[in-house]
Amino acid sequence: MDIDPPKRWKLFKAEMLYRLPQDSRKKIKRLLKLGDDYRNEGEEELAEHCYHLSRKLAQEVRAVHLLKKIEQRVR
């Protein structure tokens, strides 16, 4: 096993949030909050994954203001 079970669950949670049928802007904001929570817990790779998913969604819906927020968090 490459990933221990708690991290696998957190990764699955982020992926499910990405795929849920919901307004894209709400999904982006929820992914950003989840990434912030993971970063506060010290889970940098999971936070970066959440930010990556939110950036991907923001680019799809062309939400420039949300892309700027994501870029601020990634730096």
pLDDT tens for residues 37-54?
999 999 889 999 999 999
The burial of 2, by beta-carbon neighbours within 10 Å (0-12 exposed, 13-18 middle, 19 or more buried), is given as exposed
Q: Which segments in the chain show pLDDT lower than 50?
A: 1
DSSP letter assigned to residue 22: S
Q: What is the pTM of this model?
A: 0.83
**Gap between the Cα atoms of 24 and 39, Å rounded:** 22
